[in-house]
Structure 1
Amino acid sequence: MGVTLDPALGGWLAAAAPGLDDGSADPEAVLRRLAGAGLFALGVPRAEGGAGGSVTEAVEAIAAVSWHSMAAGFLFWSQRTFIEYLLQSPNAALRVRLLPDLLAGRVAGATGLSNAMKFLSGLEELQVTARPEAAGWRIEGRLPWVTNLAPGGFHVAAAVALPGAAPFIAALPHDLPGLVRSPDLELMGMRATATAAIALHGTPVGPQHVLHADAVRWLPQVRPAFLGLQCGMAIGLARRALAEAAGHAGPAREVLRPAREGLAAALAGQERALREGLAQGLFHADAAALFRIRIALAGLVAEAVRLELQASGGRAYLRPQGEGFARRWREAAFVPVITPSLTQLEAALAAAEGRRERAA
């Protein structure tokens, strides 16, 4: 991997980070800045208006942004993941219609498939249902937690249960009748991420909105990108915390060097496993390997931020010196609960192990 942010963008993200955490910043400004730097185009084929390359470059770019602000990285993940859905959709007309505005940051893309990923692992039923009508379907349900629902305009992906048939995946524009966005959720941090709930009341959906007609077949295809891009946030935050810990090094902190070097080596190992797995397509057949990387990265983030606290000492608990640390502490607390949460991933691994044992 290896993406270096333009210094001007890095400076802007560093200055915006406190506001993105407390909710005073504009999340749509983040989309415009990242798009202006060409970051959404990484890993998108040139034929589709992108910069070429592979999804691993997008993972690294999310890590580079999350170094400065995991809230900005969270928005980046949502936008780039929705773009990936379009790239892997057989609905070429939908891709042609939506992709230019998404790449340019003029409209937001919200993944909306957290419930679907849990459904795929047998952890939850789909929360959106459809009833057929002449022109398509009417859908009902709720998506309780979705990020990047920019008030200026968004498209949100949703998995829809269809009685008597396979569930399908739809891309829903913000202005569909019956689609209602809640006020932003009252998060503890990372508040300027346009995170809200979606309610659907008899919302009309037609074939032109369908990303894929068979969610059960398609979701495993996009899950490596969904989770792999998500891992970029944890990587960036862990790197930053370790760099901050190293910056506080001195004779009194020398005792922390072995732990810091050990964490850095472990992080590099997980990054390498993620990069190789994505490049070689290993996670399509072995989702458990990707689940384990995601779990391991969450643990490394927690250890890295704790090490930053130890290295900083009492300064971490003072204002203004400790405000950056306090923000990273809140960001680290979010990593285990991003869907799929660590509990859900561990439950999926346990269920898969149980199935293997019964088969044996």
Structure 2
Amino acid sequence: MTLTAPLPAPLTSWLDQAAAGLDTGAVAPGDLLPRLAAADLFRIGAPEGLGGAGGTAADVVEAIAAVSERSLAAGFVFWGHRAFIEYLLQSPNAALRDRLLPDLLDGRIAGATGLSNAMKFLAGLEELQVSARADGDGLRLDGKLPWVTNLRAEGFHVAAAVAGPDGRPFVASVAYDRAGVTRSPDLDLIALRSTSTAALKLDDVAIGADEVIASDALDWCPKVRPAFLGFQIGMSIGLARRALAEAREAAGAGRHALGTELDDAAVRLQAATDALRKGLADAAFVARPADLFRIRIALAEVANDAVGLELQASGGKCYLTGPGEGFARRWREAAFLPVITPSLVQLKAALAAQGAPAGRAA
């Protein structure tokens, strides 16, 4: 299957072989991150002066989409890790960035985006689940993060939004080996099982000022939200592209009646992808997050429609274990897109609260 954004051949070959195992958990979760790092994917969009490859946020989206065409589990881990890197790139704490970034770019340690709670908090959908109290020159954290991806057993740093001692929220980086950090066993997911997705409990965890990513979350999170959500949308783009390509290939076997629906889905996919690229390029989503929410909704819906068209085009072979393996995986992957935080229901609720329509982005 031809990808929109080429990937290195060794990674392409490995993802094709490992996709089923990454979904079911048969592939060890620890194997994935080093494979993505070896292809230098985490350097895309990061400044060359900091060890990156240069490029734009749209380039990151395309890379995540390309990986997600092969495996949404791999795209999911890519998103979580690259989002954490982006937090450091947009943090005023240069010392923290310089300390953590080399190991993150090389995949020696995992970065986990624990800011789903923060993004829901900004939209008025949820209270912060981690709080801090003063302890001399430092802070003590308590709380939980019930669902975080890329909590790699070999080591991770997680970003957490925290209600400060004065009630003002900030964002901190918490290391896996800090006393009081407890990682649950991997969550019992129905798909995407090799993504090191687990819950975290923070019990009297000590951190210093040098571990604060942003001291004012209310000011900083809206600025980083376009990358957080935009990179995430790359998963929908990749899955939609792959399912539409599979559907077109199968539709050649006498199912020409689907042509109009396939063309419509492709037009919607391209229009929403173009709108995402434009909004990221001109920084429009900082002032107009509703536009980004609508694009997220639109592309998740296109991906689900595309997988449905793949089923119709392929027919009964989708229910055979061998020929239907790839489709069955994509069907499960598509079921995840509406519920990944922020879920489509949460985004629609946020739009309704703003009096904004949740219609198509383009």
Q: What TM-score range do you get, normalising by the shorter chain?
A: over 0.9
- SS across alignment from 2:114: coil
What residue number does 1:42 align with? 44
| Runs of 4 or more above 4 Å deviation | none
For residue 182 of structure 1, the aligned residue among 155, 179, 184 is: 184
> 1:60 and 2:62 equivalent?
yes
Question: Does the 8 Å CA contact 2:226/2:285 hold for their aligned counterparts?
Answer: yes
Tell me what 2:325 maps to: 323
Report how far residue 2 of structure 1 moved: 5.7
Larger displacement relative to structure 2 (193-202 or 247-256): 247-256
Partner residue in 2 for 1:220: 222
Give the distance between the partners of 1:147 and 1:43, measured in 2 at CA. Answer: 21
Secondary structure (helix, strand or coil) at the match of 1:109 reads strand
Partner of 1:357: none
CA distance in 1, matches of 2:94, 2:151: 24
* Unpaired segments ≥5 residues, structure 2: 357-362
Amino acid at match of 1:267: L
Asked if the contact 1:128–1:139 (Cα under 8 Å) also holds between the matched residues in 2, the reply is: yes
Code of the aligned partner of 2:320: L
Deviation at 1:252?
Answer: 2.0
Contact 1:3–1:57 (8 Å) recurs in 2: no
SS in 1 for 2:91: coil
In the TM superposition, 1:340-359 aligns within 5 A as 340-353=342-355
| CA RMSD in angstroms, aligned pairs only | 1.1
Distance 1:177 1:24 in 2: 31
TM-score by length of 1: 0.97
Give, in whole Å, the separation in 2 of the partners of 1:288 and 1:347. Answer: 11
SS in 2 for 1:248: helix
Partner of 1:307: 309
2:97 equivalent to 1:95:
yes
Is contact 2:134–2:165 with CA below 8 Å preserved after alignment? no
Q: Could you tell me how far 1:33 is from its partner in structure 2? A: 1.2
- 1:158 corresponds to which residue? 160
1:23 lines up with 2:25 in the alignment = yes
TM-score (norm 2): 0.96
- With over 3 angstroms needed to count, the CA separation of the structure-2 counterparts of 1:201 and 1:344, relative to structure 1, is same
Deviations 1:310-354 (A, max 9, x none): 000000000111011000000000000000000110111011118
Give yes or no for contact 1:2–1:57 (8 Å, CA) kept in 2: no
Q: Which residue of 1 aligns with 2:133?
A: 131
User: What is residue 113 of structure 1 aligned with on the other side?
Assistant: 115
Identity over the aligned pairs, expressed in percent?
60
Show the counterpart of 2:169.
167
Match of 2:275 in 1: 273
Residue 254 of structure 2 aligns to a residue whose secondary structure is helix
State the 1:165 CA deviation. Answer: 4.0
Question: What's the secondary structure of 1:337's corresponding residue?
Answer: coil
Q: 1:358 — aligned with what?
A: none
Structure 1, gaps ≥5 residues long = 355-360
* Residue 79 (structure 1) aligned to one of 73, 77, 81: 81
How many pairs are equivalent? 354
CA–CA distance in 2 between the matches of 1:46 and 1:109?
20
Partner residue in 2 for 1:288:
290
SS of 1:353's partner is: coil
Q: Report the alpha carbon displacement of residue 28 of structure 1 after superposing the two structures with TM.
A: 2.6
Q: Which amino acid aligns with 2:40?
A: G
